[in-house]
Structure formats: structure tokens, C-alpha cells
Chain A
Amino acid sequence: DGGITQSPKYLFRKEGQNVTLSCEQNLNHDAMYWYRQDPGQGLRLIYYSQIVNDFQKGDIAEGYSVSREKKESFPLTVTSAQKNPTAFYLCASRGVGLGGTEAFFGQGTRLTVV
């Protein structure tokens, strides 16, 4: 089945640790995105990538890093520089099409600092 998979579903991080969230898609999509969602809030864009080996900062990139070495994969690292990382993280992907295309989302990773 085609889709977008995030793992793990729940992640606990100690203060000062870096953690990496996984996002994999088999939809052959060029563009991939990472969003952060805080309780009762909308989605804020962290990073996005249009193509392999290329990515751009979103609105809240500080304290995060990404890589795009393969078309299928877009992992997000939450570094110790991110002071308030507890949130729900969503990954999305979409294809390129004239007039725009819909995005497909994973089921999210809930990160908690302990």
C-alpha cells in the first residue's frame, strides 16, 4: 500500500539529547514537509524539501535539522538547541503538478521531554 509513515509514534527525550524522527514515503513524491503542532494550535512549518539533496527553512527552523539523501526519506533531528521541543510532529509529502497538488500526511510523532 502506498503511503507515508512516521516513526516512532511516541518519543521521549531527556534534556540535552538530540533525537531523530523518521518519515518515509512510497508515493514517489518530490516534495516533503515537517510541521510542528502544539496543543490546540495550527501547524507551523519547520523545514521543507522540493527535491533530493535540497531543503529550505520554514518559519520555525531554529533547533531543528533535516536531510534529504533519498527521495523516500526526510528525517527530522530535534537538537538540544530546541528549548521547548514537546509537541506533535507531522510529516507530509506531495507530488508536483500544475496548479498544485494535495498533501498526504503521516500519523504523527508525539515528542515529550522528560
Chain B
Amino acid sequence: SQQGEEDPQALSIQEGENATMNCSYKTSINNLQWYRQNSGRGLVHLILIRSNEREKHSGRLRVTLDTSKKSSSLLITASRAADTASYFCATDAGYGNKLVFGAGTILRVKS
């Protein structure tokens, strides 16, 4: 069963705009991670936020985590055409090292 559910399924924006993607999950987690996938390629890790953290930044990326609502968001600021990709959240419940991915958000940035 999928642990994370991303919203929206697809997002189309203009270059320079911000993109926000959301992830909801069902059970307790140790950490939540965001990944990017270019078409037909493997996934690349973007950012990891632990259950005791509320916000984390990496370059143009900002991730928030609300454990009371079991949700996370990924904000990409000042988007570029090169940000066009699929973005996935993944939950890590800790013990047993099971890493479970959601269905992803397809982001298209138009130049």
C-alpha cells in the first residue's frame, strides 16, 4: 500500500513562479524524504526531514513537515524549465528500513 499521497497529481507553471507540492501519509514516521525523477531515469534524493524537524531548506527548496496533520510540502522557488520532472515523497517508519513512495507529482515548468 502507498504510504505517501502527493497532491496535485500534475502541476504546470511558468518559469519564475513558485511550485508547491503536498504529501500526506498515514502512519508514524521516522523521517520523510523528497526525490526527483527525470523521465525514464532513476530517482535523485533532494531533501530529508526528520520527524522532530518542522522546516528545512536546501537552495531553492523548502520542505515543511507537520506530524500532527501527517503532511509535508515541498516548495520550489523561482522555478526553471530544468525543474520539469516528477517529484515523489517517501516515508521511512524507521525500524526495518522500509522506504515507501507515493504516486508523485508531475511538474512542468514552461519557459
Contacts and interface: CB of A to CB of B under 8 A. Distances in A.
A, B in one complex: yes
Interface residues of B, number: 29
Nearest to A95: B97
Given A102-B45, A105-B44, A107-B41, A42 B99 contact: no
Interface stretch (B13-21, B65-73, B75-83, B88-96): B88-96
Contacts of A31: 97
Interface in A44-70: 44-45, 48, 50, 56, 58-59
What 7 A-B pairs come out closest when comparing CB atoms?
A105-B42, A42-B103, A100-B31, A102-B45, A43-B101, A105-B43, A31-B97
B41 A108 contact: yes
B41 to A, nearest CB: 6
Nearest to B53: A99
Given A31-B97, A41-B103, A50-B97, A100 B44 contact: no
Interface residues of A, number: 30
Nearest to A31: B97
A101 B30 CA distance: 10
Q: Is the interface of B mostly helix, strand, loop or mixed?
A: strand
* Of listed A35, A41, A102, A108, residue having the most chain B CB within 10 A: A102
Contacts of A102: 33, 45, 48
A31 B88 CA distance: 20
Interface of A: 31, 33, 35, 40-45, 48, 50, 56, 58-59, 88, 90, 92, 94, 96, 99-108, 110
Nearest to A91: B42
Interface in B26-40: 30-31, 33, 35, 40
B30 A42 contact: no
Contact of A100 (B1, B30, B35): B30
B111 to A, nearest CB: 23
Given A99-B30, A100-B31, A102-B48, A42 B101 contact: yes
B60 interface: no
Contacts of B6: 42
